[in-house]
């Protein structure tokens, strides 16, 4: 394959992924005005042709795509948070979407790498993102994460080990317990996500 064809194939894949991402964003039903604004900003970012994926840690390009996944024990009504060493916050698991990678494939890969379990879609949204946020990170190498939040299901007892290089601890909390946690110890959108999830629960 010559260079022209290789570039063309890469461009085709980029356009396919942008169309895929636009479709995913269209399927997210905004919970509040902040999510509505973030969705509009994300749609414009994708359509504008800016680079989507991180190519060098921690901040190149300064805006890039992330897949979060919140693991939910549906029987107990508890979700899993991890103590992220670099961020110094309790967060959902997740990671940066690699170049030419579908966001769901990121979830599958990161779930195995970080929690050593298979990614099983929840009843809430299946393999589609449930929530969308745009967040500026803290600390050195500050950048902006455009984050698709997925919801997975797993029994609490199935998560017995985790990536200790990235996380210092994990904990399961009921949704009401998450809301009782101080906001400055969590992802800045964690309370909003939790309220949206509570509203989506049957009954």
**How do residues 29-51 score in pLDDT, each as one tens digit?**
999 999 999 999 999 999 998 88
Tell me what the pLDDT averaged over the chain comes to. Answer: 89
| pLDDT, mean of residues 48-60 | 83
38 vs 2, which has greater pLDDT?
A: 38
Percent of the chain with pLDDT over 70: 93
60 vs 190, which has greater pLDDT?
A: 190
pLDDT of amino acid 203: 57
Per-residue confidence at 100, pLDDT binned at 50, 70, 90? confident
Q: Among 52-61, 115-124, 169-178, where is mean pLDDT lowest?
A: 52-61
pLDDT of amino acid 139: 66
Give backbone dihedrals phi and psi of 178, rounded to 5 degrees, phi first. -60, -45
Q: Is the pLDDT of residue 201 over 70?
A: yes
- Whose CA is closest to 115, among 146, 145, 80? 80
How far apart are alpha carbons 107 and 151 in whole angstroms? 10
Q: Among 1-10, 45-54, 139-148, where is mean pLDDT lowest?
A: 1-10
- What does the angle CA 176 – CA 180 – CA 182 come to, to the nearest 5 degrees? 145
What are the Cα distances from residue 12, in Å, to 9, 22, 54, 144?
5, 15, 19, 26
How many alpha carbons lie under 13 Å from residue 173 in its C-beta half-sphere?
Answer: 20
Tell me the pLDDT tens digit for each residue of 144-166: 899 999 999 999 989 989 999 98
Q: Among 57-71, 77-91, 143-157, 177-191, where is mean pLDDT lowest?
A: 57-71
Per-residue confidence at 62, pLDDT binned at 50, 70, 90? confident
1 vs 141, which has greater pLDDT?
A: 141
pLDDT of amino acid 103: 95
């Amino acid at each position: 394959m010559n260079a022209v064809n290789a570039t063309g194939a890469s461009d085709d894949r980029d356009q396919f992924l942008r169309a895929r991402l636009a479709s995913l964003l269209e399927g997210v039903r905004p919970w509040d005005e902040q999510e509505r604004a973030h969705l509009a900003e994300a749609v414009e970012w994708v359509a504008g042709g800016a680079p989507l994926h991180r190519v060098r840690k921690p901040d190149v390009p300064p805006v890039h795509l992330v897949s979060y996944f919140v693991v939910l024990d549906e029987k107990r009504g508890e979700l899993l948070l991890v103590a992220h060493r670099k961020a110094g916050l309790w967060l959902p698991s997740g990671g940066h979407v690699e170049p030419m990678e579908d966001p769901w494939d990121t979830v599958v890969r990161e779930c195995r790498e970080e929690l050593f379990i298979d990614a099983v879609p929840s009843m809430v949204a299946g393999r589609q993102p449930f929530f969308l946020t745009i967040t500026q990170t803290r600390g050195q190498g500050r950048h902006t994460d455009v984050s698709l939040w997925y919801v997975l299901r797993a029994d609490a007892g199935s998560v017995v080990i985790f990536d200790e290089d990235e996380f210092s601890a994990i904990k399961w909390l009921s949704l009401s317990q998450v809301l009782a946690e101080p906001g400055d110890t969590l992802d800045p959108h964690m309370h909003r996500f939790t309220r949206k999830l509570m509203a989506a629960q049957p009954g």
